[in-house]
Amino acid sequence: MAASRHFPRTPFVLFVWVRFCVWRRQIRQLFESPAKLSLIVGVWLSLLVGVFALAYYGFQFVYDTAGLGPFLLSRLWFLFLFVIMILMATSHLASAFSTIVRTPETRWWITLPVSARTICRAKGFESTLYSAWAVVILLLPTCLAYVVVLKKPLWLVGWIIGVLLVPMLGIVTAFSTMVLLAWLRWARPLMIRREVAFVGLWIVSCLLFWLLGERQVERQQDVWFIALQELLPRMQVAMSMGWPSSWAATGIDAGMNGRWLEGSLYASLLWTTALLSWRILDHGAARWLFRVLRDVARPVDAASWASRPSSSPRLVPVWWMRRALFSSIAKDVLFVLRDPMQWSQGLLFFGLLGAYFGNLHRFGYAVAEPSWRIGIAALNCACTLLVFGSLAVRFIFPQMSLEGRALWLLRISPGGLSRQMVSKICLYGFLAVGIVDGLLLVSTGRLSIPSPIRLWLLGAGLISSLAIVGLSVGLGCLWIDPTAQDAARVVSSSNGAMALILMLAYVSCVVVGFVGFWLCWMHHSPTGLFGISLSLVGVSMFTGWVPMRLGLKRMERLE
């Protein structure tokens, strides 16, 4: 120990220093395994190239629309950024909850002489980084494709991301954190019946879709034109100038068209609002932090559950399942049910999808020709799998690591760790097939899809959701981290990022399969349809089976 060695003195710098030390070690560990590093880099590069290609051809398609291309492209940014903003705000709620409130680190920090402002600022930045890094990386190829399609200089990508999108994400995360703290501070009693909030949101969403929809009217116009006609009025919400996403979209449009004064003004507006939001979070919301952390202590949950014995579900063993496997599944079911973090996001996203699918008949797609309806159904299927895939990485992937300190018990039990893996596959596989195929049934029903196609989509949903479960559980076992106590940490680690990349890569393959299926249907090619079905089954079996086998081997080695 060198006596003269100086170390950071202010708590915020100390926090950054600790993170730097931890990340440096993790990166160094990654460099010690060149195969893993090259795989991660390779998959990320392919993902970025894939996003670029998808965005490039999409932008080019819209840009080539006669007379309307540039106008539609600029409007598309409003919609795109609006969706990103809503998704970020929602996902940041969960990220901030686990990073600020749930982590034992914060519980330790509040026993140290560190001000609430410092904790709030440090944890706010940390949760923002966790929620925004992947969004920024995926926005990079999208912006690049946009600039290339419009034949503008490449440095404009820096302008879009660095000057416009970063402050936009900053505003969203600051407000989201404030909403979370305000909710925990003032609406804590409502947390007792969390289900009410989610069901309420679901009903509101249904109402919104019902209001946005319109009565079915027969039209003999071009399908693409009808879609545009119907899309534009509905974009009024997304195009409201009250949203930071609209300021960013206007700034992008101004920058692309050389209106630098306007672009700079919107950039200033974004940065000023971002700084102001963080200032409010820093000064205002931080005042509630200690109170929130003291109130959201674990004994509260324990006591609330203790005082509600009737809420505990009765899980009765079934004759057709082995008792030991039943015990493992029952443990997992109770774990999921009693931790709202495990099911709330799923309920929210699948609820929104369900509300949308349930109101599909009001959106005029039903009047369109069959191929268009089948395209929409395939798109819905891809969308459902994408949502399920990302939720699977967030919640199913860390399950085995979260067994943590209970691993000793599971390891010496007769069935061993491999039974835990089987139980997780059974439980999540059952849930996945129920949810995904349930949603697809609603979607295909509302779009009046012919029975053979409906069966094909349901089959594809079944195979893909099982493959996603296999991939998540398998990778979770393969890259198990028994020391982890927080799911967010498992997901944000390099292994978590890798799992997300592989998941996105698989879902991208499925989406490509759906596009191929749609094209084959339009061109009446049964051979093509057969080939695509076979490829989908092959890819899904490979994706689900290989990680499961590797995971099983890892479990056997652990035992």
Partner 1 sequence: MIKAAGLTKRFGALVALEDFSIEIAKGEIVALVGPNGAGKTTALHLLVGLLTPTAGEVYLGDFHVMRQALEAKRILGFLPDQPFLYEHLTVEETLQFVGGIYQLDPEIWSLQAQRLAILFGLADKMNRRVNQLSYGMKSRLVLIATLLHQPQILILDEPFFGLDPQTLHLMKQHLRECVAQGMTVFLSTHQLSVVEDLAHRIAFLSQGRLVGLGTLKEMTQRHGSACLEDLFFQLTGSSSG
Q: Two tokens at 451? A: 């029975």
Residues 8, 137: Cα–Cα separation, whole Å: 31
Would you say 22 or 204 has its CB closer to partner 1? 22
Nearest-approach distance from CB 413 to partner 1, in angstroms:
22
Q: Are 167 and 273 in contact (CB under 8 A)?
A: yes
Enter the DSSP assignment of 321.
Answer: S
Candidate list 190, 211, 276, 303; residue touching partner 1; CB under 8 A: 303
Question: Does residue number 307 form part of the binding site for partner 1 (CB under 8 A)?
Answer: yes
Question: Does residue number 523 form part of the binding site for partner 1 (CB under 8 A)?
Answer: no
Q: How far is CA 494 from the centre of its chain?
A: 17
Q: How far is CA 341 from the centre of its chain?
A: 14
Nearest-approach distance from CB 153 to partner 1, in angstroms:
42
Question: Does residue number 409 form part of the binding site for partner 1 (CB under 8 A)?
Answer: no
Residues 50, 69: Cα–Cα separation, whole Å: 23
Would you say 22 or 324 has its CB closer to partner 1? 22
Enter the DSSP assignment of 102.
Answer: I
Q: Are 96 and 127 in contact (CB under 8 A)?
A: yes
Would you say 405 or 523 has its CB closer to partner 1? 405
Residues 545, 539: Cα–Cα separation, whole Å: 10
Question: Does residue number 261 form part of the binding site for partner 1 (CB under 8 A)?
Answer: no
Candidate list 34, 67, 113, 233; residue touching partner 1; CB under 8 A: 113
Q: Are 431 and 399 in contact (CB under 8 A)?
A: no
Q: How far is CA 139 from the centre of its chain?
A: 15
Enter the DSSP assignment of 218.
Answer: -
Candidate list 98, 105, 418, 520; residue touching partner 1; CB under 8 A: 105
Q: Are 71 and 249 in contact (CB under 8 A)?
A: no
CA atoms lying within 13 Å on the CB side of residue 534: 6
Would you say 36 or 107 has its CB closer to partner 1? 107
Residues 427, 399: Cα–Cα separation, whole Å: 12
Nearest-approach distance from CB 473 to partner 1, in angstroms:
25
Question: Does residue number 310 form part of the binding site for partner 1 (CB under 8 A)?
Answer: no
Question: Does residue number 22 form part of the binding site for partner 1 (CB under 8 A)?
Answer: yes
Would you say 4 or 310 has its CB closer to partner 1? 4
Helices (H), 213-322: 223-234, 244-256, 260-280, 286-295, 298-306
- Binders of partner 1 among residues 467 to 486 (CB under 8 A) are 483
Question: Does residue number 27 form part of the binding site for partner 1 (CB under 8 A)?
Answer: no
Nearest-approach distance from CB 110 to partner 1, in angstroms:
6
Residues 142, 408: Cα–Cα separation, whole Å: 46
Would you say 15 or 159 has its CB closer to partner 1? 15
Nearest-approach distance from CB 4 to partner 1, in angstroms:
7
Would you say 41 or 297 has its CB closer to partner 1? 297
Question: Does residue number 405 form part of the binding site for partner 1 (CB under 8 A)?
Answer: no
Residues 121, 111: Cα–Cα separation, whole Å: 17
Burial of residue 411 (CB within 10 Å: 0-12, 13-18, 19+) is middle
Question: Does residue number 18 form part of the binding site for partner 1 (CB under 8 A)?
Answer: yes
Would you say 211 or 302 has its CB closer to partner 1? 302
Q: Closest Cα partner for 161 from 153, 172, 171, 169?
A: 169
Candidate list 114, 231, 325, 515; residue touching partner 1; CB under 8 A: 114
Question: Does residue number 110 form part of the binding site for partner 1 (CB under 8 A)?
Answer: yes
Place of tokens 């029952």: 330
Would you say 71 or 108 has its CB closer to partner 1? 108
Question: Does residue number 104 form part of the binding site for partner 1 (CB under 8 A)?
Answer: yes
In the shown chain, the binding pattern of residues 269 to 298 toward partner 1, with x for contact by CB under 8 A and - for none, equals: ---------------------xx--xx-x-
Would you say 19 or 36 has its CB closer to partner 1? 19
Strand (E) or helix (H) holding 173: helix 166-186
- Binders of partner 1 among residues 115 to 154 (CB under 8 A) are 115
Question: Does residue number 311 form part of the binding site for partner 1 (CB under 8 A)?
Answer: no
The residues binding partner 1 (CB under 8 A) are 1-9, 11, 14, 17-18, 21-22, 25-26, 104-105, 107-108, 110-115, 290-291, 294-295, 297, 299-300, 302-304, 306-307, 483
